[in-house]
Amino acid sequence: MGFLYNELLFRPLFNLLVFIYNIVPGNDFGVAIILLTIVVRLVFTPLSIKALVSQKELSKLQPKIKELQEKHKNDKQALGQATMALYKEHNVNPFGGCLPLLIQLPVLIALYSALNSGLKPESLTALYSFVSHPVAIKQIAFGFINLTQKNAILAVLAGILQWFQSKKAASFQAPASKNEIPSPTFQMSKQMLYFFPIMVIIIAWNLPAGLTIYWVTATAFSIFEQLYINRKYR
């Protein structure tokens, strides 16, 4: 499994990262990180949109699910059958929001590893023969950020963007009217609205700036993705 992960995920992403670094004017590794993150997220945009739409559809069914729970509160088997029939009737997959995310997870882990390895000169031995071998990766991005060092400003920015993204996610899953029953996903999103951004700041505070730039870029991309879905599926 380790060999397959390395050859099918990590190494291709690492080589793509260095390739982008080689062609970026000024060989700015910070810019390469941002571009690679955007490329990977664009590839997975259809899956991400599918997950978001699935969450929205599930939230619309919450009142009917609540009715079924009241009707079959003493018969779990009947409740399960009625709930699945409801999903089938409305063409909703209860796992539709999870599966796309699970598919992306190994790639995102490999992307994270590739970015981390790009900050280490010894990792350049993993390059393919057709990818130009830079003498060294410049560790200063945008002329003033040391990618190998912690960066408090980027950590706080990551937390702020995470808060905004969580807020947008909660609004996307919110009931269409006050009379509708909030979905469990919506309730969880509201509970995580402040807790998760604080955790992001704590984690990012101890990460190299290069990885925090990836985090900031990925979160910003998710925000624009949610804004698009919110507008299209009101």
Span 135-168, pLDDT tens digits: 778 888 998 999 888 999 999 999 999 888 888 7
Q: Rounded to two decimals, what is the model's pTM?
A: 0.77
Cβ atoms of 82 and 71 within 8 Å: the answer is: yes
In whole angstroms, give the CA distance from residue 209 to residue 198.
18
In whole angstroms, give the CA distance from residue 187 to residue 74.
25
Please give the average per-residue pLDDT across 61-74, as a whole number: 80
Question: Which residue shows structure tokens 């982008």?
Answer: 20
Helices (H), the chain: 2-5, 11-23, 29-43, 45-60, 62-71, 76-89, 99-118, 152-173, 184-205, 209-232
Amino acid at 75: D
The per-residue pLDDT for range 26-59, each reduced to its tens digit, is 889 999 999 999 998 898 888 787 777 777 777 7
Domain containing 82: what range? 2-232
Provide the CA 48 distance to its chain's centre, in angstroms. 8
Number of domains observed in the structure of the chain: 1
